[in-house]
Amino acid sequence: MNAPDNLSRRALLTGGLATGFLLAFHLPLRAAVNEPVQPEDKTDGKFAPNAFIRIDPEGVTTLVMPQVEMGQGIYTAVSMILAEELDADWSKVQLLHAPANEKLYGNPIFVIQATGGSTSVRAFWKPLRDAGASARAMLVQAAAAQWNVDPASCTTSKGVVTHKASGRTLAYGALAAAASGQTPPNNVPLKDPKDFVYIGQPFKRLDTPDKVNGKAVYGIDAIVPNMTFATLAQCPVFGGKVGKVDDRAAKKIPGVRQIVVLDDLVAVVGDHMWAAKKGLDALDIEWNEGPNAKINSKAIWDDLRAASARDGVVAKSTGDVAKGLATGEKFEASFELPFLAHATMEPLNATVHCKPDSCEIWTGTQIMARVQSEAAKAAGLPVEKVTVNQHLLGGGFGRKLEPDMVVAAVRIAKQVDGPVKVVWTREEDIQHDVYRPVYRDTIAATLSGGKIVGWKYKIAGAAIIARWLPPAFQKGIDIDAIDSATDVPYEIPNVHVEYVRAEPPAIPTGFWRGVGPNNNVFAVECFIDELARKAGKDPVEFRRGMLANSPRFLSVLNLAAEKSNWGQPLPARVGRGVCLQPSFGSFIATVVEAEVDEQGEINLRRATSVVDTGIAVNPDTIIAQVEGGLVFGLTAALYGEITIEKGRVQQSNFNDYRMLRINQMPKIEVHVVRSGEAPGGIGETGTTAGPPALRNAIYAATGVALRRLPIDRKLLAAGKKA
């Protein structure tokens, strides 16, 4: 078992992402995480009252990070929450990556040890505050006992207990040993938010100083003595197997040491990545492609369209939708979203040392404990014989919610003497992703007197939850796929929402930044704009008319309209588009302003988001997450599509799977509304907001109602009409 102390570096990092489906649905799982298990690490007079806090006699306060840092700033946010209730001395805070331990570090929303779905701050808000407050109370008890005074007469600030009446003080470090002997009190009161001294302040991130000078260590940077380097090729056709391998040319390449041939992949091990890569290129591999070689995008879309015509499982039904749809004028539309790759900047990798009786892994993952258990299966070892050393993640975006890259590395490492670093080429990374699934959402709605009377909405797409978190897949409903479809912000009297599970053949599908809300916010907000036009109303005004009882939505919408100069004149072929979304427990309105040129190319001019995410733990990180999330979503809207031909992914690298670049950037403004409500999720909100806001801007600029992503420029050339 790895102890927290073997985690990589000292002071790091930040926090706060996660998914929204928890709000609409209480996960039917038994929470058994964050138990008050006494950690083993009580050596050297260290005060270790719970899974998250260690204070040594010098006062160094080590905080163990239950959520992983992949850029979202969670290490800093987690630390701020702990330090707030602990009244820690921020200058003495150091961080550790948590080890694999589901009970101590499980995410209370998922129950497993996972970072994703914009859940981190929402899930850990209460457990971390409790942990900090409880530790603080034990330190106060220890000081009060030493002074023989009432604990209630003591105060704390910046790592020091003070007895005001006598003027005595004791630093936390000096109390560490004595505090360890205290019994943790029950039901410790938490601070009134008005008394927060850290939470709500724009704190500098703890992980960034080492990221400007090359010192930060990502999984791909792990250096293990005597390691070799490998890269791999999996069958280009999903599910295909290795046939014959001619390795004669590869073996002649200087630095190539070993060719590992497994049933579904081939790896070359060398003295460095260059030898491994050249060796792989020199292999002559004959693949048994199998039945999936016939799969192509056209057939996948035909199947999905057919599936979406079927009746689904009812996820929500309020009012009388049959009656609603028979009242007024009826409109229908369907919206389609493509497969997407994650393309984290850090290509997939894992370094593994397999011995007969143990296995050690160095990687960056969003699922520590699952990686440990899957690696144990692959290694044929008991789980306690597998150690996972967590690292910073060079982007996650949901890709590292899967263990496949580690499992492949373990299988390769089993054939290799000594530690081996397995790094995927970018081409392998894009062609063997676990893809955001294709979705097709159909909507029928009626308008009467300028209001929506009936709303029937059907989602068709893969059930990622059924595979990834089976206990949460109940009654045929994927709670992620329907997220933000069952809780649209608007007052509509008759609503019916259905889900059709439609799994694409052979293509692995998984979570992608923005998760379920990506498809639903897009379809809902695009269609609301179309209905506004049918009703002869301005899109913002139309939305306002359905928000009378939703003050938080109304407030962000109004402020976004104001800040974006909504309604003020624009040149020809320039438009503004709005998106209002309920996702991830936050309330966000976004306006994108874009120009469409005569050829149909898009020029992003401006993006304005107004965010009410409840208590903003670290406001600057929230702004940064929305800025970056918008870029992620706009990139997908403009370029993102993985296509399949002959069972293979057709894209391979950044030349044909394009990313937005700095020269294409709009101005971005993010406004965070002050709020005393419980914190919402933030890391994925910009991603969900960008595409519908851009699409609606294009609709305003050209009159063309796009219903499919990525944006097809051919439909937007001058003279084209919806």
Partner 1 sequence: MHMAIVLTINGETKSFDAPPDMPLLWALRDILGMTGTKFGCGIAQCGACTVHVDGKAVRSCVLPVSAVANRTVTTIEHVGSTPAGAKVQKAWLEAEVIQCGYCQSGQIMAAAALLAATPNPDDSDIDAAMAGNICRCGTYVRIREAIKQAANGRQS
Residues that bind partner 1 (CB under 8 A): 70-73, 204-205, 207-209, 211-218, 220-221, 223, 229, 254-255, 271-275, 277-278, 343-347, 392-397, 423, 425-426, 620-621, 624-625, 627-632, 635, 653-655, 659-663, 665, 667-668
Measured CA to CA, the distance from residue 476 to residue 23 in angstroms comes to 19
Residue whose CB is less far from partner 1, 113 or 621? 621
Give every CB contact of residue 536 below 8 A, 6+ residues apart in sequence: 450
Residue 650 · residue 644 · CB < 8 Å:
yes
CB nearer to partner 1: give 39 or 219. 219
Nearer to partner 1, 12 or 135 (CB): 12
Residue (171 or 341) nearer to partner 1, CB = 341
Residue whose C-alpha is closest to residue 495's, from 554, 446, 530? 446
Strand partners for 608: 591, 669
**Nearest distance from C-beta of residue 83 to partner 1, angstroms:** 19
Q: Which amino acid is at 277?
A: K
Shortest distance, CB of residue 397 to partner 1, whole angstroms? Answer: 7
CA distance 621 to 67: 16
CB-wise, 557 or 668, nearer to partner 1? 668
Least distance CB 420 / partner 1 (angstroms) = 12
Phi and psi, residue 717, nearest 5° = -60, 155
Residues 6+ apart with CB under 8 A from 436: 337, 339, 340, 342, 398, 509, 510, 511, 512, 518
> Hey, is 641 helix, strand or coil?
coil
Count of beta carbons in the 10 Å neighbourhood of residue 401: 25
CB 7 within 8 A of CB 97: yes
- Rounded distance, CA 82 to CA 564, Å? 37
At 15, list the tokens.
Answer: 């926090």
Q: Which is nearer to partner 1, 344 or 390 (CB)?
A: 344
Give the 3-state secondary structure of residue 708. Answer: strand
- What is the smallest separation between the CB atom of 503 and partner 1, expressed in angstroms? 28
HEC per residue, 112-167: CCCCCCECHHHHHHHHHHHHHHHHHHHHHHHHHHHHCCCHHHEEEECCEEEECCCC
| 156 vs 366, beta carbon nearer partner 1 | 366
Which residues, listed in sequence order, are joined to residue 595 by a DSSP beta bridge? 574, 603
Least distance (Å) from partner 1 to the CB of residue 574?
19
Q: How far is CA 40 from CA 4, 51, 53, 384, in A?
A: 10, 10, 12, 16
* 189 or 225: CB nearest partner 1: 225
What are the tokens at 710?
A: 């990525």
Residue 92 vs 400, nearer CB to partner 1: 400
Query: Considering beta carbons, is residue 93 or 630 the nearer one to partner 1?
Result: 630
Instruction: Note if the bond before 710 is cis, omega within 30 degrees.
Output: yes
CA distance 255 to 268: 10
Strands 241-246 vs 284-288: parallel, antiparallel or unpaired = antiparallel
Nearer to partner 1, 145 or 659 (CB): 659
CB of 266 to partner 1, least distance (A): 18
User: Minimum distance between the CB of residue 213 and partner 1, rounded to whole angstroms?
Assistant: 6
Spatial distance between the Cα atoms of 689 and 389, rounded to a whole number of angstroms: 35
Least distance to partner 1 from the beta carbon of 411, Å? 22
Q: Report, in Å, the least distance between residue 150 CB and partner 1.
A: 43
Measured from the Cβ of residue 193, the count of other Cβ atoms closer than 10 Å reads: 13
Whole-number Å distance between alpha carbons of 84 and 76: 12
Nearest approach, Cβ of residue 614 and partner 1 (Å): 22
In whole angstroms, how close is the CB of 240 to partner 1 at the nearest point? 24
Q: In angstroms, give the least distance from the CB of 498 to partner 1.
A: 34
Q: Judged by CB, which is closer to partner 1: 24, or 694?
A: 694
Q: How far is CA 414 from CA 142, 242, 332, 361, 423, in A?
A: 51, 18, 55, 12, 16
